[in-house]
C-alpha cells in the first residue's frame, strides 16, 4: 500500500507587533533648530558686511547711509554666497546630526538608498524637475511677478559675477544647496512625517516648510510647487538620491542661465517654454508613475516585525 501523499506545509502569517507610532514633533524641533542656525549665521554675515563697509569712515554714519547699505545687501555676491553657505551648514548639519542620533542606520533614516526602479529614473527625474522649474519660471515671468522678487535680484548679481565668483556660486548654490536641502527636507523631515501621516499630507507640509525658508513671496511659491514634485519623487522612489541629482542639476542650470542673461525672454518665448515644459513635466510624471513601484507605508519607528514559521 503506497503512503499517502504529504500535504504541503502551511505557512503561518506574518504577525506585526504594534509599537509606538513614529514621533513627528522631533522633526519640527529640528526645523526650528535649523532655522535658528540659518538666521544666526545670516545675521553674522550681514553684521560683518556692515562693519566692513563702514570701516574707516571719517564722517558719522547717517540713517540714509545705513539704509543704502541694507538695500545693497541682497545684491552683493559675497553676501549671497555666504548666506547660501549658511543654509548648507544649517540644513545638512541638522539632518546629519539628527540622523546619526537615530536608532536607524543613517542611510535608512535619511533615505540615502538606491531606487527600486531602473537607472533611467535618474535622468527622467532630472528632466522632469527641469521642466517643472522652467514651466513655473515662465509663468512667473509672464505674470510680471519676477521683477518684484528675489529671483530678479539673483539674476542681476549672477549676470555681473566674474569667472571665480560664478564658480564659487555654482559650488555653493548649485551643489551645496541641492544636497543640503534634500537631506533635510525630503530625507529627514518628509520621511518621518510619512510614517505617521498620509503621504500627500507629509509631502504638502514639507513643501510648505521648504517654501517658507526662501523668505520671498514669489520665490517661496515657486519653492512650494517644485517641493511637491520632489516630495512625490522621494516618496515614490523611497530614496532622495534622484532628487539630489535633479536639484543639483536644476540649480546649476538656473545659475548659468541667470549669468548668461537667458532669463530675459520675450512673451512668446516664455509662452513656448511654459507649454513645452508642461508637456515634458506631464510625460515625466506619467513615466515615473509607471516605472516606480507603488510605495508601501513604512512601519513606524518602534514597531517590531516577527515572522512565525511552521516547524
pLDDT of res. 297: 53
Taking the model in full, what pTM does it have? 0.84
Which residues, at least 6 apart from 216, have a Cβ–Cβ distance to it below 8 Å? 149, 150, 151
Give SS3 for 61.
coil
pLDDT of res. 301: 44
Residue 121 lies in a domain: yes
pLDDT of res. 262: 67
Phi, psi of 266 (to 5 degrees): -75, 170
Q: Output the 3-class SS for 8-45.
A: CCCCCCEEEECCCCCCCHHHHHHHHHHHHHHHHHHHHH
Q: What is the pLDDT along the chain (311 residues), one digit of tens a residue?
A: 455 555 444 433 333 334 567 788 999 999 999 999 999 999 999 888 888 877 766 667 677 767 777 777 777 888 899 999 999 999 999 999 999 999 899 999 999 988 887 899 999 999 999 999 999 988 998 888 888 788 888 888 888 888 899 999 999 999 999 999 999 999 999 999 999 999 999 999 999 999 999 988 999 999 999 999 999 999 999 999 999 999 999 999 999 988 887 666 778 888 998 999 999 999 999 999 998 887 655 544 444 443 333 33
8 A C-beta contact, residue 253 and residue 174: no
Name the domain count of the chain: 1
Structural domain including 62 reads 22-297
Residue 7 lies in a domain: no
Residue 139 lies in a domain: yes
Residue 226 lies in a domain: yes
Whole-angstrom distance, CA of residue 135 vs CA of residue 163: 29
pLDDT of res. 114: 86
pLDDT of res. 75: 79
CA angle 245, 250, 254 (to 5 degrees): 155
DSSP 238: T
8 A C-beta contact, residue 124 and residue 284: yes
Residue 303 lies in a domain: no
Whole-angstrom distance, CA of residue 12 vs CA of residue 39: 55
Give SS3 for 307.
strand
User: What angle, rounded to 10 degrees, do the helices at 25-54 and 63-72 form?
Assistant: 130
Residue 80 lies in a domain: yes
pLDDT of res. 182: 97
Residue 88 lies in a domain: yes
Residue 137 lies in a domain: yes
Amino acid at each position: 500500500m503506497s503512503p499517502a501523499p504529504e500535504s504541503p506545509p502551511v505557512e503561518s502569517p506574518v504577525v506585526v507587533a504594534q509599537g509606538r507610532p513614529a514621533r513627528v514633533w522631533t522633526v519640527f524641533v529640528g526645523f526650528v533648530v535649523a532655522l535658528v542656525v540659518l538666521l544666526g549665521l545670516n545675521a553674522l554675515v550681514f553684521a560683518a558686511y556692515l562693519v566692513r563697509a563702514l570701516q574707516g569712515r571719517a564722517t558719522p554714519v547717517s540713517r540714509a547711509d545705513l539704509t543704502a547699505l541694507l538695500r545693497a545687501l541682497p545684491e552683493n555676491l559675497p553676501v549671497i554666497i555666504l548666506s547660501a553657505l549658511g543654509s548648507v551648514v544649517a540644513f545638512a548639519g541638522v539632518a546629519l546630526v539628527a540622523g546619526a542620533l537615530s536608532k536607524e542606520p543613517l542611510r535608512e533614516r535619511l533615505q540615502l538608498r538606491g531606487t527600486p526602479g531602473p537607472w533611467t529614473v535618474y535622468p527622467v527625474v532630472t528632466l522632469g524637475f527641469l521642466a517643472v522649474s522652467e514651466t513655473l519660471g515662465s509663468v512667473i515671468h509672464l505674470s510680471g511677478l519676477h521683477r518684484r522678487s528675489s529671483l530678479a535680484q539673483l539674476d542681476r548679481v549672477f549676470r555681473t559675477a566674474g569667472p571665480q565668483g560664478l564658480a564659487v556660486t555654482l559650488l555653493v548654490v548649485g551643489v551645496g544647496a541641492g544636497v543640503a536641502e534634500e537631506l533635510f527636507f525630503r530625507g529627514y523631515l518628509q520621511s518621518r512625517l510619512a510614517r505617521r501621516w498620509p503621504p500627500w499630507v507629509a509631502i504638502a507640509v514639507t513643501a510648505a516648510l521648504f517654501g517658507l525658508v526662501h523668505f520671498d513671496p514669489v520665490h517661496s511659491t515657486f519653492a512650494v510647487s517644485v517641493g511637491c514634485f520632489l516630495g512625490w519623487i522621494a516618496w515614490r522612489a523611497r530614496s532622495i538620491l534622484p532628487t539630489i541629482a535633479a536639484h543639483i542639476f536644476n540649480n546649476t542650470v538656473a545659475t548659468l542661465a541667470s549669468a548668461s542673461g537667458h532669463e530675459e525672454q520675450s512673451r512668446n518665448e516664455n509662452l513656448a517654454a511654459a507649454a513645452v515644459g508642461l508637456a515634458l513635466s506631464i510625460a515625466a510624471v506619467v513615466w515615473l508613475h509607471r516605472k516606480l513601484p507603488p510605495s508601501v507605508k513604512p512601519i513606524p519607528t518602534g514597531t517590531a516585525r516577527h515572522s512565525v514559521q511552521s516547524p
